[in-house]
Amino acid sequence: MAENVTVPRMPIAPELLEILACPVDHAAVTDETTHLVCSSCGRRYPIRDGIPVMLVDDAEPPAGERPIS
């Protein structure tokens, strides 16, 4: 394995992405490498250590918005 290189995360397989959904509104999410992003409300779910964190309390608000309370 190369040194000093962050091992890239395997992209989420398309067939898996199909059955991923936002826990709030159940809309489809897109894989933006570091986050899964809801196509409807824009909430950003972080991917930590390769594991999507789909907890609403841990989600980041859509880019440019204040935190969703």
Partner 1 sequence: MGRYSARLAPQLADFAGVRSGQRVIDIGCGPGAVTSELVDRLGPTNVFAVDPSEPFVAVVRERFPAVDVRRAAAEQLPFPDNAFDAALAQLVVHFMSDPVAGLSEMGRVVRNDGVVAACVWDHAGEQGPLSVFWQAAGELDPDVKDESHLAGARAGHLAELFVNAGLRGVEATALVATVVHASFEDWWGPFTLGVGPAGAYAVGLEADRRAELRERCRELLPTAPFELAARAWTARGLA
Q: Nearest approach, Cβ of 14 to partner 1 (angstroms)?
A: 13
- Which of 27/65 has CB closer to partner 1? 27
Q: What is the DSSP letter of 34?
A: S
Residue type, 48: R
Determine, following the binding rule CB under 8 A, whether residue 55 of this chain makes contact with partner 1. Answer: yes
Q: Which two tokens stand for residue 44?
A: 């950003």
Among positions 3, 8, 14, 50, the unique one binding partner 1 when judged by CB under 8 A: 50
Determine, following the binding rule CB under 8 A, whether residue 49 of this chain makes contact with partner 1. Answer: yes
- Buried b / exposed e along 40-62 (16+ C-beta atoms within 10 A): eebbbbebeeeeeebeeeebeee
Which chain residues interact with partner 1 by CB under 8 A? 16, 19-24, 26, 28-29, 45, 48-56, 58
